[in-house]
Amino acid sequence: MSNSNEADPARTKRSLMARMMESGSRFTSSHGIYLGRRSTKLHVALYRRTNGRIGGHFPAFLDARILLLDHVGARTGIRRTSPVMFHADGDSFAIAGSKAGQPTHPAWFHNLKANPDTTIRIGADVHPVRARVATEAERNRLWPNFVEAFPSYDFFQHNAGSRTIPIVILMPRR
């Protein structure tokens, strides 16, 4: 049994910057602060301008890669772009609708359910994809990959209460 004063080995392997980013993410999420809408336009502009060199991964978490997800408003029909962390899964990509642990799904999740044919951008490459919600078995298989890349996902799931954070599979369209 480990002493509560001993350091968590996984935590000590993360850089100080990574621990600060994770702490800040947990703080804002637990206080109901969601910065997604406020930072999206700048993030998307920097990502596009630099082909993902800026904004292509979560700072201090190099495995937490980010893509740009295009989606069309389910009610409005307005085309939007959202930066979203992803995990490559064979020739498909998986994204998690965490909304930083808030009690509701992100708007892009509802939009993709209504309009599943879309495009994503990873770096300079644009991919036509079709979105679908992962099955429970797929979610159970993929969820640990998200937590490994960005440990706050476990906190987000806890903070989301009864809402299960969905995973969406983005399959290539030809």
Amino acid 20: pLDDT: 52
Mean of the per-residue pLDDT values of the chain = 84
Size (the chain), residues = 174
In which band, very low, low, confident or very high, does the pLDDT at 59 lie, cut at 50, 70 and 90?
confident
In which band, very low, low, confident or very high, does the pLDDT at 19 lie, cut at 50, 70 and 90?
low
Query: Cα(53)–Cα(47) distance, rounded to whole angstroms?
Result: 7
**pLDDT tens digits along 20-38:** 555 555 555 444 444 455 5
**pLDDT tens digits along 37-48:** 556 788 899 999
Q: What angle do CA 166, 170, 172 make, to 5 degrees?
A: 165
In which band, very low, low, confident or very high, does the pLDDT at 8 lie, cut at 50, 70 and 90?
very low
In which band, very low, low, confident or very high, does the pLDDT at 15 lie, cut at 50, 70 and 90?
low
Amino acid 142: pLDDT: 97
3-state secondary structure the chain: CCCCCCCCHHHHHCCHHHHHHHHHHHHHHHCCCCCHHHHHHHHHHHHHHHCCCCCCEECCEEEEEEEEEEEECCCCCCEEEEEEEEEEECCEEEEECCHHHCCCCCHHHHHHHHCCEEEEEECCEEEEEEEEECCHHHHHHHHHHHHHHCCHHHHHHHHCCCCCCCEEEEEECC
**pLDDT tens digits along 71-119:** 999 999 999 999 999 999 999 999 999 998 889 999 999 999 999 999 9
